[in-house]
Structure formats: C-alpha cells, structure tokens
Structure 1
Amino acid sequence: MGMRRFIGVDLAWGRTGARGRPNETGVAVVDAAGTVIDCGWTRGVDETIEWITRAAADGSASAFVDAPLAVDNPTGQRPCEREVGRRYGRWKVSANSTNLNSRHQAGVLVRGLLEEAGWTYDDGMHGPPDDGLVLSECYPYTTLVGAVELGYDLERPRYKRPGRRPQPGWRLARAQVCDGLIARLAGLAEADPPLRLASHPVSRRLMTEPSPERDAAYKHREDLIDALLCAWTAALWSRHGLARCQVLGEEVPATPGAAATIIAPARPEQRRARAGE
C-alpha cells in the first residue's frame, strides 16, 4: 500500500447548527500500519476542507466520508440507502433518506470543493484505487456490523441518540455501550489492517477516559469514533477490496463512475446477489 493515507470524515450534514454555528465534524487520518497520524474536530465546510487537504499532504490518500456525496434522485431514498436496510436490516441498521429536496447536503458541497482541488469521486464499482486523491462514501453502522473483527454478530451497538421516548438511565447505558465499542476498536490494533488508537494522544484518550453522559460531551466523542471508523473502513477497502466489502447502489448507474454508492464492509450473509445469480 506504500505511503497511502486513509482519511475518515464524520461530516456534519447541515451548514449550521441550532445556534447558527456549524456543528462539529469528526476527522481522522491513519496510515497503512494503523498509526493515527492526526485526529480531532473541525467546524464548517471550509475548515473541514482545509483539514483534509493537510491530512493528504503527500498526494496519495483515500477519504471515506459519512455523508451523502452523490444525490440525483428527486424524491425518496437513494438506491444505496434502500440497500443498507435490505442488507443490514437484520442487524438493526438502516439509512436516512436523501434526495434533491433534502435540506442538509454538506457532503455534496464538500465533494465539489475537493474535486476542484484535484480529488476524484470514486463509486467503488471497479475496486479500490491505489494512487491519487480519491473520495468515497461510507456509513459507520455498516462497518460495525459488517466487519467480523468488531464482533457485532447480532445487531448494532446502541451508542447513538435513542428514540423519542428514551428509558430512564439511558445516558449511562449509552456511555457504557460506547465504552464497549471503544474496547473493540482498541482490539483492531491486531487486525488486518490495524487501527492503533494508542498511537495518537487524542484517540488514546478514548481508551483512558470513560465516555461522558452529558449530551454535548458525548456527541463530541461520538463524532471522533465515527471518523476513526470511516478511516479504518477506507484502509479495509484498500487492503481487501471486494473480498471484504460490497458496493451498495445501482448496478447500472446513470452516470458511469459517479454513481451514488456506499462502500460497506460485508459478511457473506449481508452481500447483495450479483446480476444473473
């Protein structure tokens, strides 16, 4: 894999938060040895673009973004989002709907700005690239249940915000689930490819400090976890390609090479049937 870097971005979908200030975006970059070169948070699209540009300074990087990067459907869900539910629904994983009427499309903006800066959007249909600056879409929940190394064999971990009527004590329960998830991420230090949380002071704090119960502090931590998951997914895709991952989306896209897809780690029982099977 040479000196290629793997960037993960848990992008805040909206341009601004509730108070007019952009929500935080989690960011992380790792190398082929699993070393966390840098990780942290940005605010706003411009700051995020600047961080990605710095992270890919050597000119060879794959960036996996948790946000819709290609949206061309007027209404409803994108085909790749429907496939998330079909392939991973048994593990309690589904995707939000995105279409041309959706208000929050920061991912499309980020893609356009990165393409202007020399990046290429890649839908994954032809396997992982081995050089250049390439941008693809991923979804951390599919990584959590699709990568056997993490051990979520039955359903996704409940580390996100609960539904409209959470049970008493849910914040403590959420923090405990998150601590369990971090322990599993730490176990990826011995995986292929590895992810070494202890290699950077910011990611190491995930291992040494308990997950907070307070919402704002918890969301701060959750965004970083998802960014690290995105970066590791990029490394997994580069290392194993279609042997470990599948490409969710239209089999015959309207725009070759630029289909709206999600690249997702997959167990054999989660895989889509190939055309003609």
Structure 2
Amino acid sequence: MHYIGIDLAWTYTNESGICVIADNGEIIYCESKVFSDEMIADIVAEHAQEGAIVGIDAPLIVNNETGSRYCDGAIMREKIHGKNLSVFTCSKSFMLNHFGVVRGEEVVKAIRKRMPAFALTGDLSSEKHVIIETFPTGITLGLFPDAFPVKYKVKHKVAFETTKAEMGRMVSLLQRLGDFDPPVHNIDDCFHYSSGIQAMSKKEFKNFEDKLDAFLCAYATYWLANHNGKVFGDDRDGFILIPVIDEQEVRDNNRSERIKVYNKLIRDKIPQIIEDGGKKAIIEKVSGTEYLNLLNAKLGEELREYLDSQRLEELADIVEVVYAILDYKGVSRREFEWIRKQKVEEKGAFRDKLLLKEVSDS
C-alpha cells in the first residue's frame, strides 16, 4: 500500500508537487515540476499496484454552477481544536472563467482512466484504491494544533524573509512526524531546516513549498489509513477529508506544557534565562553562511519589530545584530564608523529632512 499526495496546480503551466510514502513510513518519491494529467496518472499507477490512497489538494467534485460547495462552508463552520479554518470556495463557473478547467476533475478522470479501480470517496474503509480531496492548511491544523497557523505561503504584503522563517518553522514541525502514529522515518532526506531555506529565491521557494504541500497530503492519507479523520460534505457534491489528531498527542512526553518552535537566532544568555524559568531549551550552534543567513533574517525581524513598536529597545536590538554581522565579516567598530563618516562627507546625513519627489532631465 502506498500513500500519494498531490499539490495540484490549477493550470497546466504551473508546477505541481507529488509525494509518495510507502507503507513502511519511507518517503520514496517527492518531486515538483510541470506535470500533465497523464504524467500524474502514470506516477500514481506506478505506485498504486498494491493499493493506494491519493490525497489531492484541489477541488475534485464541483457540481455547483455558482456559489460555493457545501463542504467548503461546512469546514469553515466547524471549529477544529477550537480554531476556524478558511478554505477557497469555488463554483464551476468561477473555475472555468478563471482557469479554463476544473483541473481536479480532469486529474481524477486521468487516474481512473489509467486505473479504473480507483474510487473517489470519503469512505476509506472498503476500497483498496481511493482518491480523496484534502488540503495542507487543514492538515496542519489537524496535526499541529499547538503551532497553528504556520504562514509559509508567499504573500505580496508579507516580507519574504518572514515567510522563509515560517517555512523553517513548518519544516521543524515535520520532524515530529518521526514520533507520530504512523511515523515517517526519512523526513530529513527531503525537508531539512538549514540556511538553504534562507538562501532560496522565490522560484526555488515555490518549488520547495509544492513538494512540502504534496508531502502533507501524502502523510494525511497515511494517517487516515490508520485513524478516523473528519469528513466534510459527501461523495455526490464534494467532500474534504483531513486528519485531526488527539491534541494530547502533541504534548511533549504527556506533559501539560506544549512545545513552541522558534528556529531563530537568539542572544547568548537566552538559553540560561529559559532554563531558569523551569523550561528546557533545545539549541544548536550554527556557523558559516548558515550563521550569516540567520543574522540577516534576524536583522529583518528586528527592523519589523521596531517599525511596529517605534521603541528604542528595538533599535538597540538592530544595532546588536549589525555588530554581530560586522564581527562575522571581520570589520571593526572603528572601521565601520569610518565608513559611516565617509558616506556623511560624500552624501550628507538626514538632518535636513529632505524628501526627493522626482528627478527630470532638465
């Protein structure tokens, strides 16, 4: 039995992610690129000979011409671990007008044409080959309620460095799955928090995100094969199925306090302060370009905190990070001050409060 996740692009020009988990808990395939429906069907068929559950992040049944599907409204009305989910509501006319196709329906057709044994159903109890609709945000809330929300999707109004930090937090959460029931054993082979995330371009980041979302869909099917999840809607007019873990299982060794994941650079005395407060800090010493990338991310974090609060303490934090960057680059405070003064002599400072509005040729 294999468990297949598909983060499906809604058009044929964008990349989709596909991930496959074997029944021994090993990730055996994880890729993101532009796939045709037939390519997706071929990959599914290759891994589904002994049975498979396929979880797809896309609307798979869209019968309503306008408005929204019942399952979309049902999941938004439900509180999961005390929190509400937001989902993309869709209709057939909307999908056709904006994307030219309801691609989820087309992929299901392609898979079933290749392997007619597949059933599109929210009932996993009787079929050996099943396709379900699921989605990463719901999976994240269902599996990691203590950490939700994790905002690792690129947004126009959110700094890219902030989104990268959230992706690092998401990758750290995936490490927990090694202790889940069922466990995944080789997460680090595909998803490892390192300076690599901080160094990614937006294109590289999107590729990584597609693979991660596909993995979440694959793990959701793996979990649902072993536990009962929550089904919203029905097989006729559309359904969404997500795993919802017992919240007690996310506690650290059944203690009452929860694990809070940070994955950010901290001041030298913070671990001792945490320990003095009766908690345990898990730390890792970094170096090289990873350290520099984390410093750069920290600089962005401190700048945003100052812009939000306008507090002098945040300016002091910015200066401390700048000093750390100078130390890394081997630049003394005196040399840096000389560079600053040279720029003042050449271009001035900001004492005159001048606003440049425009520049013309004459």
TM-score relative to the length of structure 1: 0.78
- 1:146–1:265 CA contact under 8 A, matched in 2: yes
Instruction: Report the alpha carbon displacement of residue 59 of structure 1 after superposing the two structures with TM.
Output: 3.2
Of residues 52, 58, 61, the one that matches 1:70 is 61
User: Equivalent residue of 2:174, what SS?
Assistant: helix
Alignment partner, residue 120 of structure 1: 118
- Compared CA separation, residues 261 and 175, structure 1 to 2 (3 A): same
Amino acid at match of 2:203: A
Measure, in 2, the Cα distance between the counterparts of 1:190 and 1:87. Answer: 28
Deviations along 1:140-159, one digit per CA (max 9) or x if unpaired, are 11110112xx3x33632111
Verify: 1:99 aligned to 2:91, yes or no.
Answer: yes
Alignment partner, residue 196 of structure 2: 210
User: Equivalent residue of 1:210, what SS?
Assistant: helix
Alignment partner, residue 60 of structure 1: 51
Measure, in 2, the Cα distance between the counterparts of 1:46 and 1:233. Answer: 24
- Compared CA separation, residues 66 and 227, structure 1 to 2 (3 A): same
Instruction: Report the alpha carbon displacement of residue 121 of structure 1 after superposing the two structures with TM.
Output: 3.0
- 1:119–1:135 CA contact under 8 A, matched in 2: no
State which structure, 1 or 2, has the greater radius of gyration over its C-alpha atoms. 2
User: Equivalent residue of 1:135, what SS?
Assistant: strand
Verify: 1:24 aligned to 2:15, yes or no.
Answer: yes
User: Equivalent residue of 2:86, what SS?
Assistant: coil
Amino acid at match of 2:180: A
Measure, in 2, the Cα distance between the counterparts of 1:109 and 1:209. Answer: 38
Instruction: Report the alpha carbon displacement of residue 219 of structure 1 after superposing the two structures with TM.
Output: 0.7
> Is there any run of 5+ residues in structure 1 with no aligned partner, and where?
16-21, 251-256, 270-277
Alignment partner, residue 136 of structure 2: 140
Instruction: Report the alpha carbon displacement of residue 85 of structure 1 after superposing the two structures with TM.
Output: 1.6
- 1:137–1:262 CA contact under 8 A, matched in 2: yes
- 1:78–1:99 CA contact under 8 A, matched in 2: yes
Measure, in 2, the Cα distance between the counterparts of 1:187 and 1:145. Answer: 14
Amino acid at match of 2:240: I
Alignment partner, residue 34 of structure 1: 25
User: Equivalent residue of 1:134, what SS?
Assistant: strand
Deviations along 1:124-153, one digit per CA (max 9) or x if unpaired, are 1x444452x221111111110112xx3x33
Instruction: Report the alpha carbon displacement of residue 191 of structure 1 after superposing the two structures with TM.
Output: 0.7
Instruction: Report the alpha carbon displacement of residue 207 of structure 1 after superposing the two structures with TM.
Output: 4.0
Verify: 1:220 aligned to 2:213, yes or no.
Answer: no
- 2:232–2:240 CA contact under 8 A, matched in 1: yes
Amino acid at match of 1:193: P
User: Equivalent residue of 2:42, what SS?
Assistant: helix
Deviations along 1:171-200, one digit per CA (max 9) or x if unpaired, are 11111111111111122011101123447x
Amino acid at match of 2:148: E
Measure, in 2, the Cα distance between the counterparts of 1:189 and 1:267. Answer: 15
- 1:85–1:94 CA contact under 8 A, matched in 2: yes
- 2:33–2:207 CA contact under 8 A, matched in 1: no
Alignment partner, residue 242 of structure 2: 264
Verify: 1:5 aligned to 2:7, yes or no.
Answer: no
- Compared CA separation, residues 91 and 221, structure 1 to 2 (3 A): farther
Amino acid at match of 2:233: G
Query: Percent identity, aligned pairs only?
Result: 24
Alignment partner, residue 274 of structure 1: none
Verify: 1:195 aligned to 2:213, yes or no.
Answer: no
Instruction: Report the alpha carbon displacement of residue 65 of structure 1 after superposing the two structures with TM.
Output: 0.4
Measure, in 1, the Cα distance between the counterparts of 2:61 and 2:125. Answer: 18
- 2:20–2:218 CA contact under 8 A, matched in 1: yes
The number of aligned residues is 238
Alignment partner, residue 86 of structure 1: 77
Of residues 152, 155, 158, the one that matches 2:151 is 158
Measure, in 2, the Cα distance between the counterparts of 1:128 and 1:78. Answer: 24
User: Equivalent residue of 2:227, what SS?
Assistant: helix
Alignment partner, residue 230 of structure 2: 246
> Is there any run of 5+ residues in structure 2 with no aligned partner, and where?
248-362
